[in-house]
Amino acid sequence: MDGKERILRAIEHKYTDKIPVDFGGTSTTGIHVMAYAKLIKYLGFNSLDVKLYDPMMQLAMVDKELIEKFNVDTVKLYRPTPKFGIPLFESWKDGKMPDGNKMKVPVSFSPVEDSNGFNLIINGKIVAKRGKKSLYYDVVDNPLKDKSDISDLKNVKFPDYSEDEANFIKSSAADLRKSTKNAIIFSIKGSFLETPCDLRGYDGFLIDLAINKKYAEYLLDLLLEDYMAKFNSVLKLTGNNIDIIKITDDYGSQNGLFISPETYRSIIKPRQKKLFEYIKEKSGYKILLHSCGSISPIIPDFIEIGLDAVNPVQTNARDMDPTELKNKFGKDITFWGGTIEPINMANFPLDKIEYYIKKRIEIFSKGGGFVYSYIHNFQPDVSPEKIARFFEIVNKSN
């Protein structure tokens, strides 16, 4: 059984010869550049470069050598411009990690340092900032912040992929299908909360949902139209060369949902349903949704509208007990993650980590519907020994 078959069968709650594993298949199952540098050194892969592909979360490309070593079943089809419009199809240059060590960065990634940290400037505008002691870039540009009337949206356009972006997607997908038997994952824009919050600012869009609903719904309809058009383009470019569509849209905080279940169901869910149905009618691809935090109240809604898998399964959030999640929803949705909380991975000794993760494997793997991955991305406070053990545990359990 190869990686593609293993992942797809797990999503369908069918028998697999081993528990499928994801590492680096998405931007929320990956690894920070600083952690990756330590890991490849620990494993003896000294000839590998650390390549930054996501400037916001400072994520490293996971090399095929580690995918093979850890028996990973997924592979990422990189978006041509993962964040802030910085392309991956251009050349690479030397850059520095937050700790000052060297890495390779896209040639267009050129943050400007000032007394407070680093500014990322695109088309003459500061779009993101990183404090000198921070590990990440924060979005600071909300292009629709001051546009609170429907008339302000009449001329808003979301451009399709450029020729360079399209060529990158098409050639990368074809190359991956030829070179790997793993499940190929591609992320598309499909957010009905996170993206409008980026456009309007979190306070702005959450207020829109409460008291400016016609505006909020108009904006969401514009986004839905764009998402379907973009997916159409992806489908034409990739054909059967991808297997899973991943969408990021955070609905949960540590203690509950960002919005009420009623607001989700009345405004967001109908549009999300249309997008999911469109993807499946056109392609049959499986859909993986990343949503952090306490999301258990709307998991039944996700199931109802056809979601196949949810990530990262943040089990230390409110009402996200792993046993309860599996008992309530495990027959109808795949849990992609949920293995160990980052704070425990960083602080537990190796023997306790192993015991803890084995318990989670026992809970989530019953009856299928489980993909083994970390709860979000590995961070620099997790030692390379622990990351290596994380994958050893699942491979030994099979």
pLDDT tens, position by position, 99-118: 999 999 999 999 999 999 99
Q: pLDDT by residue (tens digit) across 225-254?
A: 999 999 999 999 999 999 999 999 999 999
Does residue 208 have a pLDDT over 80? Answer: yes
Sign of CA dihedral 224, 228, 229, 230: positive
Looking at residues 180-199, what average pLDDT do you find?
97
Does residue 97 have a pLDDT over 90? Answer: yes
Looking at residues 189-211, what average pLDDT do you find?
96
Mean pLDDT across the chain, nearest whole number? 96
Does residue 123 have a pLDDT over 90? Answer: no
Does residue 330 have a pLDDT over 90? Answer: yes
Confidence of residue 220 (pLDDT cuts 50, 70, 90): very high
Rg from Cα positions in the chain: 20
Confidence of residue 188 (pLDDT cuts 50, 70, 90): very high
pTM of the full structure: 0.97
Helix (H, G, I), strand (E, B) or coil at 157: coil
Does residue 345 have a pLDDT over 80? Answer: yes
Does residue 398 have a pLDDT over 80? Answer: no
Does residue 85 have a pLDDT over 90? Answer: no
The more confidently predicted of residues 341 and 83 is: 341
Question: Contact, 222 vs 229, CB < 8 A?
Answer: no
List of domains in the chain: 3-86+144-397 (3.20.20.210)
Q: How far is CA 224 from CA 154, 232, 278, 288, in A?
A: 15, 12, 10, 17
Place of tokens 């390379």: 384
- E-state strands within 176-308: 183-187, 244-248, 286-290
Does residue 306 have a pLDDT over 80? Answer: yes
pLDDT at 383: 98
Looking at residues 167-172, what average pLDDT do you find?
98
Query: Rounded to an integer, what distance in angstroms lies between the CA atom of residue 220 and that of residue 324?
Result: 33
pLDDT at 288: 98
Helix (H, G, I), strand (E, B) or coil at 396: helix
* Burial track 122-134 (b if 16+ CB lie within 10 A, e otherwise): eeeeebbbbeeee
Question: Contact, 390 vs 375, CB < 8 A?
Answer: no
Looking at residues 272-277, what average pLDDT do you find?
98
Strand 309-311 to 74-77 pairing: unpaired
Q: pLDDT by residue (tens digit) across 256-273?
A: 999 999 999 999 999 999
pLDDT at 83: 87
Q: Cα–chain-centroid distance for residue 113?
A: 28
* Burial track 195-233 (b if 16+ CB lie within 10 A, e otherwise): bbbbbbbeebbbebbeebeebbbbbbebbbebbbebbeb
Looking at residues 156-172, what average pLDDT do you find?
95
pLDDT at 3: 98
Looking at residues 185-193, what average pLDDT do you find?
97
Looking at residues 381-396, what average pLDDT do you find?
97
Q: pLDDT by residue (tens digit) across 136-150?
A: 999 999 999 999 999
Residues 6+ apart with CB under 8 A from 200: 142, 144, 145, 148, 208, 219
